[in-house]
């Protein structure tokens, strides 16, 4: 019974943390685009000092400059982006607090990572969970690789043009063609000029 509660509590904590990281990273990505539009690139503002209108040197926080954060009072979409992140962060805190309050005997530390680490140490039999973790990691890595291969294929289609013979083939057989990118199909044999269109499909699928 306690083992089930340990796993359930850990899953909830990690689930909330994972959702928060994904959501807040999306907000930060949007926010970064707006900051570049409104304030110029982070690189352009990376120096620690600048000369103001009065001829005096003005200090710029290097961390804010490096992160691309505004060195002046936010305005417009920039202010909205910062507020959006602020709300997302507090929503994450609220969700995490609800899990902690529902399991006071499980969540004794104030640090979430310490709590998760301790819960993991307390599991009596880790082997089955380690196997599940390895399987999940493998499935995730396979999915990432497949998505990357699909992107490479579509980039190739855009480069060649969808109306070209190779472009038509890539659109028709995107999965099979990913073997080219993994080295299973030699590049010099890939050119559409080396074999006629009628047997192209057969050569790719062999």
pLDDT in tens, 132-189: 777 777 887 888 888 777 777 666 666 655 555 655 655 555 444 444 444 444 444 4
Q: At what angle do helices 112-122 and 2-39 cross, to 10 degrees?
A: 150
Residue 14 has what pLDDT?
A: 74
pLDDT-derived band at 206 (thresholds 50, 70, 90) equals very low
Cα–Cα distance between 163 and 10 in angstroms, integer? 51
Residue 77 has what pLDDT?
A: 55
pTM: 0.32
């Amino acid at each position: 019974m306690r083992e089930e509660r340990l796993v359930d509590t850990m899953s909830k904590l990690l689930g909330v943390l994972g959702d928060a990281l994904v959501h807040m990273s999306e907000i930060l990505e949007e926010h970064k685009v707006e900051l570049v539009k409104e304030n110029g690139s982070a690189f352009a503002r990376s120096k620690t000092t600048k000369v103001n209108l009065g001829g005096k040197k003005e200090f710029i926080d290097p961390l804010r400059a490096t992160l691309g954060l505004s060195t002046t009072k936010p305005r417009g979409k920039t202010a909205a982006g910062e507020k959006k992140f602020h709300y997302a962060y507090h929503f994450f805190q609220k969700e995490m607090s609800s899990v902690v309050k529902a399991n006071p005997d499980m969540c004794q530390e104030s640090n979430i990572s310490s709590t998760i680490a301790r819960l993991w140490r307390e599991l009596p039999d880790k082997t089955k969970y380690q196997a599940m973790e390895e399987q999940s990691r493998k499935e995730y890595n396979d999915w990432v690789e497949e998505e990357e291969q699909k992107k490479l294929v579509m980039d190739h289609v855009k480069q060649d043009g969808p109306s070209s013979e190779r472009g038509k083939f890539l659109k028709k057989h995107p999965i099979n063609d990913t073997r080219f990118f993994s080295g299973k199909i030699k590049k010099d044999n890939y050119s559409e000029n080396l074999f006629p269109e009628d047997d192209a499909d057969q050569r790719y699928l062999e």
